[in-house]
Each structure stands twice: as structure tokens, then as C-alpha cells.
Amino acid sequence: MPATVKIKKAVEKKIPVSEANLRKAATRLLTTKLVSTEIAYIQRELGNSATQEALDAKVMAVRTMPWSSIVLAE
């Protein structure tokens, strides 16, 4: 009887998209802190939870975006 191999599916853990988690990611990835407008934008885009990779990617991307696309129109 051949041995069976069980393959575990890789599940990426989601973390809360909180201000504290965004600040920690920015500290790790950037040389400067995120401002409140950037934090609000990332939270709008990602929702309540996201993977660490998605959070990191959005933190890096927000710095290259034009300010007019980040700020909410009044």
C-alpha cells in the first residue's frame, strides 16, 4: 500500500488594518511616518482586515500616489 502524502494548503493569516498596524508597517518599510490622510486612505482601500503582504504593498504604494487621489473630496 503506497504512503499518502497530505499537502496543507497555505493560508495567509489576515490581520486588522488598524492605525497601530499601519504605523508599525510604515516604521519597518519607510524612512518617514505616515500622515493621518494616508492612514485613512489605506483603511478605506483594504477594509477591516488584510494579509501582511497586502498591507505592506499598500503602505509602499501610498507614497508614490498623487495626493489628489488619496484625499477625499469635500
In the chain, the percentage of residues whose pLDDT exceeds 70 is 92
Give the residue, 74 or 18, on which the prediction is more confident.
18
pLDDT one-digit tens code per residue, 36-61: 999 999 999 999 999 999 999 999 99
pLDDT for residue 11: 72
Question: Does the predicted model carry a pTM greater than 0.85?
Answer: no
- C-alpha distance from residue 22 to each of 6, 33, 47 (Å): 36, 10, 13
Mean of the pLDDT values across residues 17-32? 94
The domains of the chain, with CATH numbers, are 14-69 (1.10.238)
pLDDT for residue 5: 76
How many CB atoms are closer than 10 A to CB 24? 13
